[in-house]
């Protein structure tokens, strides 16, 4: 997960005094506002559970009120702290952190627990009405959706809820995947955009299709998603293939339709809006799609695509997200942090002795990073012979400190059953590290302050090659 604290806000204590709230954004969207003491309390509990050596240094307390410069320094240090925590799969999938983030969202939105009607959609705009609690987590909402459409719960792990909106041109834009630390109702309400919650498949390996197509409900979900992806042009088709697909669609030959679509380019890919890249030259307009263990890049020319290439995920050594916080454009509690200052940079193995940084500037840079990470997680699980993600098991009584200093116990109903997260809870054996590999490439320099996501699926280099 990508955490950021782009700005702060001054809040009223209720007794005439004020305090500073830190606005936490997760995967590019505002999530909650918390106080320093709340994050400090979280750190102390994480330290008890995981040990001080497994946690980054927490910014120290100050005895006197902070000056403007000190406040900015604390914001930056807290952002660095929570970003480091967000890159540790054990920490980010723990019941403690999930419960903290969910409780912080509840406190920030000031929602009361009540039953409400929520609309979830399929890819072809079919409405699935369900009744949920305002406090229901994503896992609980998804379970209710699956029960409503009679999808067997053993297939639930293959699907997720996504926040999707229409842009000014009427094209669909995927904002992000909803995760278990949030209430879909609260997130949907906070964004305040022309968006909707959509159920889509959430895996990259199309071989999983075979199992899902044995169930009529799962088959139908795959079918409607495939049809809409073809209609939107997200899957490449020739005129002849389109005619074949249309004939199969008219016959409601769903399985045959999917089987034909599976042979096409960009089937199962996540498509992104047009953006800019510094490869092969600066300010190159490109279309990016991620899937099938690669990041595909189509160079946009006058009236047509003039060039197409791909970057294999296993040849990316690491990547990073860089965000330029523009405070003038960001109001307190801003709904969506999707400014043009977002960049995804990845270091790619061009040849056995050449690593090159490639930078993509896009509003969806964070979503691209999340997609790369989940693709790598799935690839590593398959390499380790793990067919599906294992449930998170946590023990302990954790508490959430509210802004006023009072506490309540963190309780996540069924948190250990059918646990789903963008980060795998499996621990993989690392055959190398960035630091070790850096020693082999003297031309590679790492600047301080940059957060790198190391790709544990990186391959293709050995001592004999260097």
CATH number at residue 237: 3.10.20.90
- Please tell me the predicted confidence (pLDDT) of residue 452: 73
The residue among 229, 261, 293 that closes a domain is 261
Residue 449's domain is classified under what CATH number?
Answer: 2.30.29.30
The residue among 112, 130, 145 that closes a domain is 112
Q: Which residues contact 165 (CB under 8 A, 6 or more apart)?
A: 172, 173, 175, 193, 194, 195, 196
Of 145, 111, 105, the C-alpha closest to 128 is 145
Confirm whether 133 is domain-assigned.
yes
- Please tell me the predicted confidence (pLDDT) of residue 141: 97
Q: Which residues contact 72 (CB under 8 A, 6 or more apart)?
A: none
- Please tell me the predicted confidence (pLDDT) of residue 167: 77
pLDDT digits (tens, 9 = 90+) for 127-142: 999 999 999 999 999 9
pLDDT band at 210 (very low <50, low <70, confident <90, very high): very high
Per the structure, the complete domain to which residue 62 belongs is given by 3-112
On whether both 63 and 158 belong to a single domain, the answer is no
On whether both 241 and 173 belong to a single domain, the answer is yes
Of 86, 43, 87, 82, the C-alpha closest to 61 is 43
- Please tell me the predicted confidence (pLDDT) of residue 430: 34
Angle between helices 68-86 and 36-50 (to 10 degrees): 30
Q: What does DSSP say about strands 284-291 and 270-271: parallel, antiparallel, or unpaired?
A: antiparallel
Contact indicator for 422, 378 with CB cutoff of 8 Å = no
- Please tell me the predicted confidence (pLDDT) of residue 435: 39
What Cα–Cα distance (Å) separates residue 151 from each residue in 28, 72, 144, 246, 254? 31, 49, 10, 27, 17
* CA pair distance 458, 336, nearest whole angstrom: 32
Place of tokens 């003039």: 306
Q: DSSP code of 158?
A: G
**pLDDT > 50? residue 213:** yes
| Across 131-135, 235-239, 351-355, 357-361, least confident range | 351-355
Does the N-terminal peptide bond of residue 463 adopt cis geometry, omega within 30 degrees of 0? Answer: no
**pLDDT > 90? residue 347:** yes
What is the H or E stretch that residue 438 is in?
helix 434-440
Place of tokens 């969207």: 29
* CA pair distance 97, 178, nearest whole angstrom: 16
pLDDT band at 446 (very low <50, low <70, confident <90, very high): very low
Q: What does DSSP say about strands 195-201 and 275-277: parallel, antiparallel, or unpaired?
A: unpaired
Q: Locate 215 and state its tokens.
A: 């169930």
* Average of per-residue pLDDT across 41-57: 93
**pLDDT > 50? residue 331:** no
Confirm whether 405 is domain-assigned.
no
Give the number of other CB atoms < 10 A from CB of residue 42: 24
On whether both 320 and 437 belong to a single domain, the answer is yes
On whether both 140 and 178 belong to a single domain, the answer is yes
The residue among 93, 112, 131 that closes a domain is 112
Give the number of other CB atoms < 10 A from CB of residue 46: 22
- The long-range contacts involving 426-432, CB below 8 angstroms and separated by at least 24 positions, are 426/89, 426/380, 426/381, 426/384, 426/386, 426/389, 426/390, 427/89, 427/90, 428/380, 428/384, 428/456, 430/456, 432/458
Residue 78's domain is classified under what CATH number?
Answer: 3.30.1520.10
On whether both 108 and 226 belong to a single domain, the answer is no
- Please tell me the predicted confidence (pLDDT) of residue 305: 63
**pLDDT > 70? residue 337:** no
- Please tell me the predicted confidence (pLDDT) of residue 442: 31
φ, ψ at 37 (rounded to 5°):
-65, -25
φ, ψ at 320 (rounded to 5°):
-150, 155
Place of tokens 């896009």: 362
Confirm whether 188 is domain-assigned.
yes
* CA pair distance 141, 144, nearest whole angstrom: 5
On whether both 85 and 162 belong to a single domain, the answer is no
Confirm whether 406 is domain-assigned.
no
**pLDDT > 80? residue 41:** yes
Most confident stretch, 164-168, 314-318, 329-333: 314-318
On whether both 231 and 317 belong to a single domain, the answer is no
On whether both 277 and 247 belong to a single domain, the answer is no
**pLDDT > 60? residue 439:** no
| 3-class DSSP assignment, residue 4 | strand
**Cβ neighbourhood burial of 85 (10 Å; 0-12, 13-18, 19+):** buried
Contact indicator for 286, 271 with CB cutoff of 8 Å = no
On whether both 235 and 317 belong to a single domain, the answer is no
pLDDT digits (tens, 9 = 90+) for 278-305: 998 999 999 999 999 999 999 877 766 6
- Please tell me the predicted confidence (pLDDT) of residue 145: 97
**pLDDT > 70? residue 445:** no
Contact indicator for 180, 137 with CB cutoff of 8 Å = yes
Rounded to two decimals, the pTM is: 0.83
On whether both 92 and 205 belong to a single domain, the answer is no
End-to-end alpha carbon distance in the chain: 33
Q: DSSP code of 150?
A: T
**pLDDT > 90? residue 276:** yes
Of 395, 332, 415, 460, the C-alpha closest to 30 is 332
- Please tell me the predicted confidence (pLDDT) of residue 396: 67
pLDDT digits (tens, 9 = 90+) for 13-39: 877 789 999 999 998 889 999 999 999
């Amino acid at each position: 997960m990508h955490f950021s604290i782009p700005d702060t806000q001054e809040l009223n204590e209720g007794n005439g005094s004020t305090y500073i709230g830190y606005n936490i954004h997760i995967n590019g969207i505002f999530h909650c506002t918390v106080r320093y003491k709340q994050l400090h309390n979280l750190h102390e509990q994480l330290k008890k559970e995981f040990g001080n050596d497994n946690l980054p240094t927490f910014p120290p307390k100050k005895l006197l009120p902070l000056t403007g410069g000190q406040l900015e320094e604390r914001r930056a240090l807290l952002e660095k702290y929570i970003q480091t925590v967000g890159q540790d799969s054990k920490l980010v999938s723990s019941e403690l952190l999930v419960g903290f983030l969910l409780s912080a969202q509840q406190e920030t939105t000031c929602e009361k627990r009540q039953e409400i009607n929520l609309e979830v959609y399929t890819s072809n705009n079919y409405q699935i009405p369900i009744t949920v609690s305002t406090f229901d987590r994503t896992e609980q909402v998804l379970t209710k959706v699956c029960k409503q459409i009679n999808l067997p719960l053993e297939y639930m792990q293959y699907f997720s809820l996504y926040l999707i909106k229409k842009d000014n041109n009427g094209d669909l834009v995927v904002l992000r995947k909803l995760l278990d630390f949030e209430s879909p109702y609260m997130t949907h309400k906070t964004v305040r955009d022309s968006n909707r919650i959509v159920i889509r498949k959430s895996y990259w390996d199309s071989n999983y299709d075979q199992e899902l197509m044995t169930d009529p409900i799962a088959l139908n979900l795959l079918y409607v998603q495939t049809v809409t992806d073809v209609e939107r042009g997200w899957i490449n088709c020739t005129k002849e293939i389109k005619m074949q697909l249309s004939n199969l669609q008219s016959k409601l030959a769903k399985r045959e339709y999917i089987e034909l679509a599976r042979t096409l380019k960009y089937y199962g890919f996540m498509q992104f809006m047009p953006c800019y890249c510094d490869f092969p030259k600066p300010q190159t307009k490109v279309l990016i799609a991620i899937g099938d263990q690669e990041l595909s890049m189509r160079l946009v020319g006058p009236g047509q695509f003039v060039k197409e290439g791909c970057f294999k995920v296993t040849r990316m050594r690491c990547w990073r997200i860089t965000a330029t916080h523009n405070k003038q454009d960001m109001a307190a509690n801003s709904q969506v942090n999707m400014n043009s200052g977002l960049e995804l940079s990845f270091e790619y193995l061009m040849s056995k002795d050449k690593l090159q940084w490639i930078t993509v500037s896009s509003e969806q840079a964070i979503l691209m990073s999340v997609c790369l990470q989940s693709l790598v997680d799935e690839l590593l699980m398959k390499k380790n012979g793990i067919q599906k993600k294992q449930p998170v098991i946590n023990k302990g009584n954790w508490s959430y400190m509210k802004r006023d200093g009072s506490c309540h116990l963190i309780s996540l109903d069924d948190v250990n059953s059918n646990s789903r997260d963008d980060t795998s809870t499996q621990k993989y054996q690392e055959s190398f590290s960035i630091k070790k590999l850096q020693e082999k490439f003297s031309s590679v320099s790492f600047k301080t302050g940059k957060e790198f996501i190391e790709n544990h699926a990186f391959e293709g280099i050995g001592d004999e090659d260097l």
